[in-house]
Structure 1
Amino acid sequence: MDGTVLVADDDRTIRTVLTQALTRAGCKVHATGSLGQLMRWVDEGRGDLVVTDVMMPDGNGLDLVPSIARTRPGLPVIVISAQNTIVTAIRATEAAVFDYLPKPFDLPELMARVRAGLARQPRRETAPAPATTAAPAAAAAAAARSDDPASMLIGHAPVMQALFRTVARVVNTDLAVIVAGEPGTGRSTLAQALHSLGDRRDGPLVRITAGDPADTLAARLDAARGGTLVLEDPAGWDPAAQARIAGLIEAAEAGPDRAHAPRLVATTGPDPEADAAEGRLRPDLYYRLAGLVLTAPPLRARLDDLPALAQVSLERAASPAPQLSNGALDALRAHPFPGNLRELDNILRRLALTATGATIEAPEVAVALAGPAQPRGGDARGAANGRLADTVEQHLQRYFDMHGDQLPPPGLYDRIMREVERPLIQIALDACSGNQLRCADLLGINRNTLRKKVSDLNIEVARRRRVM
């Protein structure tokens, strides 16, 4: 390689490693731990390429990019950052940096990016408008809050960085997007980020689910004008609702007010194309939504991100947040996490509340993965009651997790009551050797009520002598 590279990073080790590697490759290097010094070199006309960190003692490297572009149009800037968030990727794209790499980066990969930057043709000499950096900065500040959904869109894993890069390219377009993935992978969070981090952030965000009546769809689409309309799992809607929304979308996009038509974002299962091919999702609706398909990866595909994700969940659950030991992290990595991020968040919130010290150890994780913590102390009867409540809670949580970002079908209370009532009556009858009078007394209900429930629930009653 031939050229002069300006390196700005507050980590002396990184400056040393980059200086040695670039020098061996044939480059001249000026390295500094200050953005002020970096900008002085740029003003003096030094350097053919810039490599800068984001968070520096005297400022933010991304905030400096527009100044570099105005002073030296066409000077390639490569941003490296330990802030592996979707907001950083979007800000890097909107600042028109030449490239962006998350830390820790692969040195050969960075060297390849530097080589490409030094060899490329100069870009157009245009200075970014001030608003270009102001809006992303506001979005970044919002996303930094722990209660903001975008705060969970973090990840160093290659699959997440690829996702962030794609989102950064389309976030400020009107392209319809399908966010596909398994339940619990953060599909709804990503859908919201497409709205809240894009040009439509000041407009309305309206969601439509399977539970919304078909006769309200027109009103909800109208309410989303100028903003974003999110269709939650349209493959789970009845065919009439799918046909209705497809027609309404077509009318909105072809009508006189089409300039204010909402951006369309849909969340689906892992394979929306198969849903369309097999008739679960109307093909005409699918092709209206599938301008681009983004796939939210399952947690098992991004285990390198687990420590950062875990820390976010712990900090949201407790202050001060406990830490995870290396053994605890290993125990989490070994778990399959069928519920993905939602399951991880539930487990860590529980661990944060039940932790006995500042550090969570592997045995505590093992207990949490096996189920909710058991009550301590009290008599055997109290412990049994505690275990029953915990088991029911765990069952119900898994039932909700199975539905991902959607709610279970209506009628949940009666359905759960029936599921609990049948085994309760069956076991009580068995304990009473089929004697319904004794069973009714045991349950605290009258005999006629018991008989009706036995009939309604199709419970077989067998009178037999108990073997003691």
Structure 2
Amino acid sequence: MTTHTALIVDDEPDIRDLLEITLTRMGIKALTAPDITSARKLLGENNFHLCLTDMNLPDGNGIELVHWIQRYTPSTPVAVITAYGNMDTAIESLKAGAFDFVSKPVELPRLRELVTSALKLSQTKPDYETPGDEPGLLLGNSQQIKKLRNQTRKLARSQAPVFISGESGSGKELVARMIHLQGPRREGPFIAVNCGAIPSELMESEFFGHKKGSFTGAVENKDGLFRSANSGTLFLDEVADLPLAMQVKLLRAIQEKAVRPVGDTKEVPVDIRLLSATHKNLPELVQEGGFRQDLFYRINVIELGVPPLRERPDDIALLSSHILERIAGEYDCDPATLKPGAIKHLQDYDFPGNVRELENILERAFTLCDADEIDVGDLHLGSGAHSPTSASGIITQGQGAEGDTTAVPEGEIDLEGYLESIERQAIEKALEATRWNKTAAAKRLGISFRALRYRLKKLGME
């Protein structure tokens, strides 16, 4: 069994003794140093799996040691011990490259959690390129995407909150997921939440949970998103959409590392890595008063920008190939390829919807083209929103499958569900009329056989 070794750097003998005893009880060999000079000497002579350093030392401060470790022994996770309540110092240490921080007086359960996470980083690096990780949308050979991949690997080693900025559809959630999968919390849950999709009156319950009977409709206890993400990662997408009242409560939860469920009198400790994202200009919202500055500083310890697709056109061919293979696999169809002219056409396109738009374009082209090769004409770039066909691509506006008028229901409707029901009816009628001959039904509907197979699978009609 491999013995882990840790370095403790603190000028107070009592603190050094307490930390050494705690680590020894965890089966970790601990060496101690009273200052930066002796710490550097020990770091040069030993391979440490973890370094714990106080902030205030006789010959400098802990952040100087963090910088030194980042330069000379970057594989050693380093955590900083800060004064109680001094979040500014903690954030400064995280920006310098510290893995995490712990406040004085040191709480032993919190210290043990930190040490356990740090030791996971020293274990053999797993293969992150597994199919379940969906690494395809981070594929590419452009300098921008190579830089992004390197940044996600580096940030995965830290526990610092990361703010992911980028346009809609650029892959911010995928970047967050890759940070999670490459870090010490990869065995824990990854909980992604769209902050703009939660009604404001339910937001506190969704985030922090509630006790049974705390309000009308609370028929059982609920953990909430923070506790569901315990020991893992919580990703807050579209964080700019949080109302100001919720921003205050979120800030407290981040600072205290604890949440109070609705209807409860006690706070419950949580251990999460917080990642957040938005396509909006958050600094501008702070200036306008729409987003709290103190919360912005807490979630934006490190900012990671995701490049738009139009800035990396050379990656489009590789991305498209991956997406088309995935679509073919999902719907059990023969794969399609892009003709050189179609690739050039995509590379010249602006992609306001980024990678998500590329996926939609290729999915539509895949289902509607008759051949195994997708040409320029099959892409319909920019025409989807103005096409006279419905989202299904089968039924013209106002016409059913047999030419009868389709009445639009009164009041508010679920457009996607409404169009899907019309599409289902049209396919059923075409199949019945052709005695369930799919080839004939596809011809009757004016689509390719592959497009019909795709739709049958998508609608669960196989």
Query: Which TM-score applies when normalising by structure 1?
Result: 0.49
Largest Rg, 1 or 2: 1
Query: Which structure dedicates a bigger proportion of its chain to helix?
Result: 1
Query: Which TM-score applies when normalising by structure 2?
Result: 0.50
